[in-house]
Chains A and B, each alone.
Chain A
Amino acid sequence: MSIHKTAATAGNEREHALALLRQMLLIRRFEEKAAELYSAGKIRGFLHLYIGEEAIAVGAMQALAVEDAVVATYREHGQALARGVPAGKIMSEMYGKANGCSRGRGGSMHMFDAGRRFYGGYAIVAGGLPVAVGLALADKMQERPAVTACFFGEGAVAEGEFHESLNLAALWRLPVLFLCENNLYAMGTALARSESQTDIHLKAQNYNIPAEAVDGMDVLAVESATQRAVAQVRRGDGPYFLELRTYRYRAHSMSDPELYRSKEEVAQWRGRDPISLFDAYLRTQGMLDDAELQTLETGVANDIDWAVAEAEKGGCEPVSDLARDVYGSVAT
């Protein structure tokens, strides 16, 4: 693990590093609060937690500019937070409130934010990949220098849309950054039980897409790999593929009894917790101490309190508006 110096970070490495840590902590604590609120019945439906994978959303998002687009999955609270969607809008969405980032129509799995080019959570595995390819096509055809970052899990690799999308993006040299979050389990099916080739980035290479595997528990490694990849994509060299190796500590969703993996395995991965790893590294660099960490935790806790308060006091969409936003108005 080492601090990657870029124009953006030169001279203020500590500030940048603490910002990364704070974002990871925000996601972690946000997710813990979401689980608590789910148990309390405030959040319903499906809830897929990102705990353990924070380094990916936080590291990758550093490389994206405002003009870039993001496509995510049903496990997208982390990406939404890291992209800057306000925590209160996300929490309100999970409460099903009208002030949620999708007006209460999406819930946990479908967060959208047009202003941040956050094109949403897609809850059919691999369903977001073709959309990302199309967004990149639109940018390319309109000669905008934007990159579309497309997050998906390794379960998507088994779907036909994965292969079709990689092929089309490579064939048309589209500015897509494919970010495969390999947390080793497609719901309860271990990678080795579903794929004949478990080195996923090799599949991308077969489509002539530059691809590499990255330690997804190391926020700095994710950040620097993504910066390299985005720079290449933005140059117009076509898509890039990163396989980010990570682990999901929590169950697939709140209704998962976790019969498919051992406690020992989970404990082993907890030993490589992205937040603990980064915390330890920053202390060796003299960039973090207990007091600083406490300051960060307090700030994050305040943000989450605000988010919950916003969700609690948010109004419900009136039932009379049930049918709004099914169709738009025809241009005249």
Chain B
Amino acid sequence: MMLSTKTGMSDFIYKLTSYVVVTAVALLCLLPVILVFSASFSSEESIYQYGYTLFPKSFSLEAYRIVFESPQALLGAYGVTLIVTGVGTLLGLLITSLLAYVIWRKDFPYRNHLAFFIYFTSIFSGGLVPLYIWIVRYLEIKDTLWALILPNLTNAWNILIFRSFLNATPASLVEAAKIDGAGDFTIYRRVILPVAIPGLAVVGMFQALYYWNDWYLAKLYIDSEHLYPLQFFLYRILNNLQAMQEAIASAGIPIPDMPSQSLKMAMTMLVATPVFFLFPFVQRFLVKGITVGSVKG
């Protein structure tokens, strides 16, 4: 090739730079995960002596042994999170898809009013306190699972994303179904939902991820230990030795003897593990949603 070696050299440096930069950032993204993983397998004494390290100075399964011997609280928190994520995602999808379908129907006379009614909540809110007092004093769902499920069932963003999936559906499908005498609800259930499965998957994944990772609603509204969701369970352990002792109560270890530094790390790994396994299967849905969302602006 006559293309000068200068271009070749420059492109080589470009390639090198790009791989170095991307690899470095990727390593930094993984590093904390590796560090916590390693710390969870370190013996408590080695942490006291050397601190947390990249590789365990002295390997120990003690922290995991203690958790597995007394797993009731952790399993309970898993149960709460599974219920909240399952019920919340399903209810959320129902509401989201219904609203999106209605504002997508061009022949619905109030579609603009309804769209504004939804959109306005994303630019103005009463703030934390009015909602808090309303939930605690008037709705009286404090310290129930509903307080973890209902406050964020859907939002303008999810509805917008789902509607953009509907936009890809030809309106003629609706017309054809109408001619066959199908009602509006039948059209939604028989015609729209089957076509909109990718949209349901995308919005459902966002919603499920939100519920799975939420700790904030529990911090505000949950008092009873048996209703702690997973992330809040972990949050409490990190901030409170008492909470850690309760979490492994049946192991009956007094606070001063608990290997608290390695236990924190082991608990974190046990809370995060499902995400590591599910993430590869789930991520493409979120990528799709982000791409659709970014096109919509």
Question: A and B bound?
Answer: no
